[in-house]
Structure 1
Amino acid sequence: MRLLNRHVVIALAAATGMGAALLILSPILPALKEFYGVSNALLGMLVTALVLTHALVQIPGGVVVDRLGARWSLTLALTLAFVGSALPYLNQSYPLVLAARVVVGLGTGLGFVASLKYVTAHSAAQRAGLTQGFFGGLINVGCIIPFLISPLLLSIDWRLVFLFSALLFLLPLLALLIWGQEPAGGRAETGLSLGRVLKQGPVWALGLCHCLYFGVTMTVATWIASYLVSLSPEGMLLAAAGLWGSLATGFSALGRFVGGFTLRLVAPQRLILGSVFMLALAFALLVASSQVGWSVFLFVLVYLSSSLTFASVFWLAYTLAPRELAGTSIGLVNSIASLGALLFPVAFGLILDQTASFAWGFVFLMILSLGGLAPAGFLYRRANREAQAGPPAGASGAPFIQAP
């Protein structure tokens, strides 16, 4: 099976569209503020409406994917995302745009689970981790696209941003309708899929590890500009410091791409455990850091360590559960991870308010990372026990200890 068959290309295109949809409004927020004349809080709701809906739909979306099948679930997801993206181009009233963002969030939340299951099932077993790494990396690449295309669209008509986002969903949707194919053994015919997956301890361990990775990435991306401004004795310009914050997406994309290749050489459990250790080390060093250059290096280490494991986490989420329940497993892992993205940046800000010191915030992240050694170590020890006992092959045909 080729690495980039038509099914893989469809799922990767969907991933790019989902990434773009997450931040499609960020570059045009000033234009929206002028158009609507509303507060910044109401503007922020246009962004968070999608993010929160995307997070909340992960678990029920996984159940839908397992029951309906990956192909038709992805078709439904892309349809929702396309309609939600296109409607604001036709009518720009604030309530409609807000409702449309919720619809897009439903589409991206369901689409993440459906497309990840679809791309994995249509990849050769030895290349599944690699395609998952590309999938995760292209979500990050999609997040960059709005910032690249918005200057051109704004020079013509800011409403074209909505049409552009809709186009990114329409193309894979049409391809899926024409060439899509349901993977073999991809539907759960009987039983309660969520209940069966909830009993899988390793799936919870994966969710906690990914919660750490996703949470620290969002926390550092949120606060890096403010930290560098406070650290620079020359008073670094906020715009210059903010550049490093924008590079977070690029480093995360690089880490996910590299992680897909690394997974072919290193067992996923080892990569997960090693990445957690590197995060704890990086934050421990940041506590005592007082130089901009050294701090930037450590932030790059954080970005890479937290993103290298994307393919490892979701490869294991796919293989730990029976094939027909893989969507529910993926949804549960990503739902747990969303808690870190929502809570860690807020907690860091509260610590900063109370202590007026970024060092204590890094202590907090170091403690979280040390805590992450528990679920990561559980996965590693379980893999070693199964390797020594010679377990039967999992749903993918690959033993738990081996890289795909």
Structure 2
Amino acid sequence: MKRGLVIVLTASLAFFSVVLVRFSIPSLLPYMVGRNGINTVMGGLLISFLWIGYTIFQIIGGLMVDRYGYNVVLYVLILIAVLNALYPIIITQYYLLLLVQFVMGSLLAITYVALISIVLSNYGRGGLGAGIYQSMFFLASSISIILSPLLFSINKYIPFIAFSTLVALSIIPLVKVPGNRRINSTITIGPENMGILGMGFIRLSSGFSYLGFLSWSTYYVVHVLNVSPSLSGLYAFLASIMGSAGAIIGGYLGDRAGYTWPSILSSLSLAIIVSIIPRSSVIYLLMLLMLLLGFFYGFYAAPSIAISKFTTNIGATSGFLNFMSQLGGSVSPYVIGFLLQYYNFTETLLAIGIISMVLVVIGAILLFNDRNLLNKIYRQ
């Protein structure tokens, strides 16, 4: 158990470093939208291109990890560190930046699947292990959101070089992690495995609501709360910081009580909170809602991915589940940017919330019709 915990922490620290990279560009939207001919639609597309690459390569990455072993992540981390260091050179070249965003998203997807597979395969308490791992997402995204605008305002090279260095350093302890678990991986998502498909819809809902809002959070506080761009990360920070506590609590509860209800109820809460955030005119209530948003996304994330341990092909299944959440995260930023051309944030986020609620209902129906999967969950 102690050895497994060390492996969980090693994989989690590597995940921490790549999440810093993932949220640096979205955090810089206040510096980019309105300059060099970039409007809100182009800004949303810039974020979506990373999520598109990230989404497409979830399943591909899962199959690669199952087939070639976990050590594939070492080579991918090297590529991420090098590519991220090039961002300040190309940041004003919009179409080249779009292409690089897609490539970066693809590499980040492979990294996510490899690292979560390492966690679920080497630690018996799958929910808690996934919770510790997912907590790094919220810590790193919070730090990236708060530091990237500040560091960029000093010098455009600083945030990218700093984050690339951390990614490179995370490779060192990963070298000692076993990486020889290889199987001929396939994945079947259909009538014979409705529960996984149902959980996929629940993750689609959460990605659509939370990731969409988080991607536009710095822009939101600048244009709605009239915060200066350099301090925008301090406010958007609230929307992610509580996710670490939520991930660990949700994972622990999932191990004890099953992974279904924590995932369903927290995803539904996310949709409701996103809908009502722009309706709040009281600053302290808005701060509380943002804190709850981060908490519930963490609470949902750990149990909903830990369900992968009940399948033979952990890499492919976790890849599919993360594919669904990132599908929501890749579409939502563009949808928000498009709607903002015609509506205000109140109407736009209400539409996002309603769509997310419908997806939760569909997922719950499919999940509770898979008795085989539910029996495995509640027998553990």
Same fold (TM over 0.5): yes
> Which residue of structure 1 lines up, in the alignment, with residue 135 of structure 2?
137
Measured after TM superposition, the shift of residue 241 of structure 1 is 8.2
**Conservation of the 8 A alpha-carbon contact between 2:12 and 2:132:** yes
Following superposition, the deviation at residue 269 of structure 1 comes to 0.8
* 1:237 corresponds to 2:226: yes
> For the residues of structure 1 that align with 2:193 and 2:179, how far apart are their CA atoms?
26
**Residues 294 and 28 (structure 1), Cα distance of their counterparts in 2 relative to 1, 3 Å cut:** closer
The answer for the alignment partner of 2:75 in structure 1 is 76
2: CA distance between counterparts of 1:290 and 1:265? Answer: 39
For each residue in 1:167-226, what CA deviation from the matched residue of structure 2 results, as whole angstroms up to 9, or x when unmatched? 22222322222x12136xx3223xx614x3566322221111011112111233356678
Q: Could you report, residue by residue, the CA deviation over 1:59-95 in whole angstroms, capped at 9, with x for unpaired residues?
A: 11111111111x2222232222133234568999958
- In the alignment, is the contact (CA less than 8 A) between 1:75 and 1:173 conserved in 2? yes
Of residues 198, 205, 213, the one that matches 2:206 is 213
Displacement of 1:166 in angstroms is 2.2
1:66-105 to 2 correspondence within 5 Å? 66-69=66-69, 71-87=70-86, 101-105=101-105
Letter in 1 for 2:186: S
Partners of 1:88 and 1:241 lie apart in 2 by 21
Indicate the residue corresponding to 2:377 in structure 1: 400
Corresponding residue to 1:187 among 182, 188, 193: 182
Decide whether the 8 Å contact of 2:151 with 2:158 is kept in 1.
no
Return the alpha-carbon distance in structure 2 between the equivalents of residues 295 and 160 of structure 1: 31
Supply the distance in 1 between the matched residues of 2:143 and 2:337 (Cα, whole angstroms).
28
What is the match of residue 2 of structure 1?
2
Q: Does 2:110 align with 1:117?
A: no
Give the aligned partner of residue 266 of structure 2: 275
* Letter aligned with residue 204 of structure 1: L
- Does the Cα contact within 8 Å between 1:7 and 1:180 map onto a contact in 2? yes
* Aligned residue identity for 2:82: V
**What CA distance in whole angstroms lies between the structure 1 residues aligned with 2:206 and 2:46?**
25
8 Å CA contact 2:195–2:369 kept in 1: the answer is no
Instruction: Tell me, in whole angstroms, the C-alpha distance in 2 between the residues paired with 1:277 and 1:243.
Output: 26
In 2, are the aligned partners of 1:22 and 1:51 still within 8 Å (CA)? no
Structure 1, unaligned stretches of length 5 or more?
392-398
- Give, in angstroms, the shift of residue 47 of structure 1: 5.4
**Residue from 168, 171, 187 that aligns with 2:169:** 171
Q: In the alignment, residue 181 of structure 1 is paired with which amino acid?
A: P
- Which residue in 2 is equivalent to 1:362? 350
Moved more, 162-171 or 345-354: 345-354
Task: Report if aligned partners of 2:200, 2:321 keep a CA contact under 8 Å in 1.
Answer: yes
Instruction: Provide the residue aligned with 1:307 in structure 2.
Output: 298
C-alpha distance in 1, partners of 2:279/2:14? 42
2:18 matched to which residue of 1? 18
Tell me the distance in 1 between the aligned counterparts of 2:351 and 2:158: 44
Match of 2:107 in 1: 107
Provide the C-alpha distance between the structure 1 equivalents of 2:218 and 2:165, rounded to a whole number of angstroms.
33
User: Gapped runs of 5+ residues in structure 2?
Assistant: none
Check the 8 A contact 1:17/1:165 in 2, yes or no. Answer: yes
Q: What's the offset of the Cα at 1:19?
A: 0.6
**What residue identity is the alignment partner of 2:135?**
G
User: What is the root-mean-square deviation in Å for CA atoms of aligned residues?
Assistant: 4.0
Identity in percent:
19
- 1:237-269, CA deviations, whole angstroms, 9 ceiling, x for partnerless residues? 344887543311213333223322332333111
SS of the aligned residue for 1:180 comes to coil
Kept after mapping to 2: 8 A contact 1:81/1:103: no
Are 1:65 and 1:114, in contact at CA under 8 Å, matched by a contact in 2? yes
Q: Deviations over 1:283-319 (max 9, x none)?
A: 6766986655445544444443333111111111232
Structure of higher RCO (CA pairs closer than 8 Å, 6+ residues apart): 2
- The count of corresponding residues between Structure 1 and Structure 2 is 373
Task: Rate the CA distance shift 1:45–1:221 in 2: closer, same or farther, 3 A.
Answer: closer
Partner of 1:396: none
TM-score by length of 2: 0.79
Contact 1:22 1:47 in 2 (8 A): no
Alignment equivalent of 1:318, drawn from 291, 305, 309: 309
Contact 1:12 1:138 in 2 (8 A): yes
Contact 2:126-2:255 at 8 Å conserved across structures = no
Distance 1:284 1:108 in 2: 29
Separation in 2 of the partners of 1:247 and 1:299? 6
- Indicate yes or no: 2:259 matched with 1:264: no
Counterpart of 2:194 (choices 177, 198, 201) is 201
Which sits farther off after the overlay, 210-219 or 287-296?
287-296
Deviation at residue 16 of structure 1 after TM alignment: 0.5
